[in-house]
Amino acid sequence: MNAKLSILFYAKRSKTSSEGLVPIYLRVTVDGERIELTTKRFIQPEKWSVEGNKVKGTTAEAKAINSFLDTLKAKVYEYQQELIRENELVNAENMRNKILGVEKRSHMLIAIFEQHNADLKALVGKEFAVATYDRYITSLKHTTNFIKWKYKVSDIDIRKIDHEFITSYEFYLKSVCNCCQNTAVKYIKNFGKVIRICLANGWLERNPFFNYKSKIKEVERVFLSQDEIETMFNKEFANERLNLVKDIFLFSCFTGLAYADVKKLTRNNIGIGVDSERWIFTNRTKTDTRSNIPLLPISTAIIEKYRNHPQAVNQERLLPILSNQKMNSYLKEIADLCGIHKELTFHIARHTFATTVTLTNGVPIESVSKMLGHKNLHTTQHYAKILDLKVSNDMKALKDMFGNGKQLVIKKATGS
């Protein structure tokens, strides 16, 4: 959208000099916002034509001043075109800087974002996971497309980023990109890291996220029940590929490891724990946090089953795992064959470990959190919230107490 620009010259009588002369001022209005600057030219008040917006008469003085004002007016329009060519916003601040010849070093958002991603890429495998890098690449793509959609430019000075920019970006993600609430918030969070870089370097004077609030919507995590686990465990398929996928999925159900963590396991990740039993010792791919997990019998049996599998041997992996896409595709078929009416994905195994396998069976939440490799207990508490069965078990002792001669007598209510 083109900015509406108007130019006016006027004699500022409030600044009449001791000699009785008044300065000629330039007023530039951009979309209703004014800037006023002196032209450093002075005349007698009666010589100024308000209607003509110039000096009256045809004297040499009048012609010289009017010629100067015409040149200045042409320069203002030229500055407007320069801002457009430089992909800068045509606003009062930028026009003032152009007229006064103030050159500010521009720090452009997309350029900063690209540099951040380049630095992050160099640290993949050292401080960051590939998935983290991929997420920021997608976030950069959304940010680039947003400023093209909103401002019709390929990049924007970070000084132009304000609260309205953030809220408009969130609206764009939800409306144009059709992102759900949580996905939009995550992209905004990624964008926020770039803003923090700008603040730390002093390129921004004010945090545009000040007073911005957007919450993650609580999502009900899907997991398998004990009966569904047993149904899958006991089901044998004619297709060996389905049996393989089933076994590796169950391995994750009883270890809590995500797909990426199962995929990278080797025999070197199996060791003896503090209890002299076999444990898995690994670092989570996503967060690089330590995750030490005692092996349950079913997990050990699955490891032994595939000890000599050609794919596992050739790739020096603990298990012959397929691609995540293929695993999820086969899991949908397995769910149908087992009569499990849930949208089955590999990550549901991790949820199942946290809920059905551990918390439901009385494993303390602190231990579950450590095995899952969570950085804080708050993340694990999301699983505890959805376990009505656990609430029932926790209350059972209290019910038994009141059922063994310790009942409270509730008197019948009477009307007043």
Q: What is the pLDDT of residues 151-204, one digit of tens each?
A: 999 999 998 899 999 999 999 999 999 999 999 999 999 999 999 999 998 888
- Contact at 8 Å (CB) between 347 and 259? yes
Where does a domain end: 46, 74, 100? 100
Identity of residue 301: A
pLDDT at 416: 47
143 and 75 in a common domain: no
CA angle (53 as vertex; 47, 58 as ends), nearest 5? 50
Q: Which of 100, 121, 155 is the endpoint of a domain?
A: 100
Q: Alpha-carbon torsion 283, 285, 287, 292, what sign?
A: negative
196/244 same-domain check: no
Indicate whether 90 belongs to any domain.
yes
Contacts 24+ apart (CB under 8 A), 103-109: 106/157, 107/157, 107/158, 107/159, 107/198, 107/201, 107/203, 108/155, 108/156, 108/157, 108/158, 109/143, 109/147, 109/155, 109/156, 109/157, 109/158, 109/161, 109/194
248, 368: one domain: yes
Same domain, 265 and 367: yes
> Could you tell me if residue 403 is inside a domain?
no
Q: List the domain range (segments joined by +) for residue 155.
A: 109-200
| Same domain (yes/no): 386, 286 | yes
* Contacts of 31 by beta carbon, 8 Å cutoff, 6+ apart: 3, 4, 91
Asked whether residue 194 falls in the same domain as residue 267, the answer is no
Task: Look at residue 101 in the predicted model and tell me its pLDDT.
Answer: 79
Instruction: Answer for the pair 21, 32: CB distance below 8 angstroms, yes or no.
Output: no
Number of H helices, E strands in the chain: 16, 8
Q: Does residue 409 lie in a domain region?
A: no
Residues lower than pLDDT 50 in the chain: 416
Three-state SS at 7:
strand
CA gap 127, 345 in Å, rounded: 28
The CATH number of the domain where 262 resides is what?
Answer: 1.10.443.10
Instruction: Give residues with Cβ within 8 angstroms of 293, minimum separation 6.
Output: 255, 256, 257, 279, 280, 371
Looking at the structure, do residues 91 and 140 belong to the same domain, yes or no? no
Q: Tell me, yes or no, whether 137 and 187 share the same domain.
A: yes
Given this model, what pLDDT does residue 105 score?
64
Which of 100, 124, 139 represents a domain boundary (last residue)?
Answer: 100
Cα torsion angle, 310, 315, 321, 326, sign? negative
Residues 152 and 268 in one domain: no
Total domains, the chain: 3
Half-sphere exposure of 136 (CA within 13 A, CB side): 22
Distance, in Å, from the CA atom of 330 to the CA atom of 344, rounded to the nearest integer, reads 9
pTM: 0.58
Same domain, 128 and 79: no
Q: Residues 359, 292: one domain?
A: yes
Q: Which of 220, 349, 376, 381 is nearest to 287 (CA)?
A: 376
Q: Are residues 297 and 168 in the same domain?
A: no
The answer to the question of residue 404 being in a domain is: no
